[in-house]
């Protein structure tokens, strides 16, 4: 990332990031995550738009890849080279089993700011940046922009909600989540150097009873 932006993210991250049990929660949740969220039409449609907008055999970063389903599998199936990153060893173990063709790394997404994984033609961040405090989300978006080649694409999904680092029960655990209302999210991504090439949203009622219904936002972003 540009020197200034990397220094800003360093200044934010170096005192220590409080992930407060996020990895432990996802380790324990494991493949119950896919059972709780069985219908992923919005995510699959966003993945399909990304897959067909990229040249064949593109290198794609999947940030907070979870179990690898559906996205890493969908993108490798479409002929792209997927590099998945997640901070939960349990989710990564499932991802490696589900998508052996992809490459996976155990890392906090903030660690990618040193450019250790090289450059990408595209990236996805499906429901992963929502696990950061709002103060970090612009840093993370600028970092993802810097990891994309010129004209590179980012498929981003968030839950529409006006919350910051909000503790919520999730499949028997507590996770912390942030969100924006749609117009504010547009502004945040534009300020991070993306243009909004497309948008979709869907109302989603998870199968699990302890997870409330939500509006999911899918933004197709291009490095401006
Ligand atoms: C809500 S799940 C979404 C998983 C997947 N992207 C999907 O759409 O099915 C969020 C994932 O992000 C991971 N995650 C949360 N915070 C992270 C961080 N700081 N760095 C890397 N991964 C993170 C979690 O371990 C979890 O697997």
- pLDDT tens, residue by residue, 25-39: 999 988 888 888 877
Distance CA(51)–CA(60), nearest Å, equals: 9
Distance CA(176)–CA(90), nearest Å, equals: 19
Distance from chain centroid for Cα 24: 18
Cβ neighbours for 200, distance < 8 A, ≥ 6 positions apart: 42, 45, 46, 217, 218, 220
User: What's the 116 CA to ligand 1 centre distance in angstroms?
Assistant: 19
The owner of tokens 């919005």 is 42
- pLDDT tens, residue by residue, 167-217: 988 888 999 999 999 999 999 999 999 999 999 999 887 777 667 788 999
User: What's the 221 CA to ligand 1 centre distance in angstroms?
Assistant: 19
pTM, two decimals, is 0.96
From 40, 87, 135, mutation site for ligand 1 pocket: most ligand atoms within 8 A of C-beta: 87
List the CATH number of the domain containing 63: 3.40.50.150
Whether the bond between 7 and the residue before it is cis, its omega within 30 degrees of 0, is no
Task: Tell which residue, 180, 140, 125, 147, has the closest CA to residue 8.
Answer: 140
Q: What is the pLDDT of residue 209?
A: 63
Ligand 1 pocket, residues with Cβ under 6 angstroms:
19, 22-23, 26, 43, 64-66, 71, 85-88, 91, 108-109, 126-128, 131
Residues in a beta bridge with 123: 61, 154
Residues written for the chain: 224
Distance from chain centroid for Cα 169: 20
Tell the residue nearest (CA) to atom 16 of ligand 1.
Answer: 131
Share of the chain above pLDDT 90, in %: 80
- pLDDT tens, residue by residue, 51-89: 999 999 999 999 999 999 999 999 999 999 999 999 999
- pLDDT tens, residue by residue, 138-163: 999 999 999 999 999 999 999 999 99
Structure tokens of 88?
Answer: 């939960």
Distance CA(169)–CA(184), nearest Å, equals: 25
Tell the residue nearest (CA) to atom 9 of ligand 1.
Answer: 66
Q: Could you list the residue range(s) of the whole structural domain that residue 103 is in?
A: 3-223
Taking the CB of residue 76, how many other CB atoms lie within 10 A of it? 20
DSSP 125: E
User: What's the 218 CA to ligand 1 centre distance in angstroms?
Assistant: 16
Structural domains counted in the chain: 1
Q: Which helix (H) or strand (E) holds 52?
A: helix 41-53
């Amino acid at each position: 990332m540009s020197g200034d932006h990397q220094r800003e993210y360093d200044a934010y991250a170096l005192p220590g990031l409080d992930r407060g049990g996020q990895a432990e929660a996802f380790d324990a949740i494991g493949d119950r995550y896919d059972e709780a969220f069985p219908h992923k039409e919005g995510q699959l449609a966003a993945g399909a738009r990304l897959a067909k907008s990229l040249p064949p055999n593109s290198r794609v970063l999947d940030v907070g890849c979870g179990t690898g389903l559906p996205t890493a599998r969908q993108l490798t199936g479409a002929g792209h080279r997927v590099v998945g990153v997640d901070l939960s060893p349990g989710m990564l173990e499932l991802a490696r089993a589900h998508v052996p063709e992809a490459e996976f790394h155990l890392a906090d997404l903030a660690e990618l700011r040193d450019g250790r994984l090289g450059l990408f033609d595209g990236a996805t961040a499906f429901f992963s940046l929502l696990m950061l405090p709002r103060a970090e989300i612009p840093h993370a978006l600028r970092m993802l922009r810097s990891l994309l080649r010129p004209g590179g694409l980012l498929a981003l999904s968030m839950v529409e909600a006006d919350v910051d680092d909000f503790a919520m029960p999730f499949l028997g655990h507590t996770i912390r989540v942030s969100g924006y209302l749609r117009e504010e999210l547009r502004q945040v991504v534009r300020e991070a150097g993306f243009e909004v090439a497309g948008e979709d949203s869907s109302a989603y009622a998870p199968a699990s009873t302890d997870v409330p219904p939500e509006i999911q936002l899918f933004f197709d972003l291009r490095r401006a």
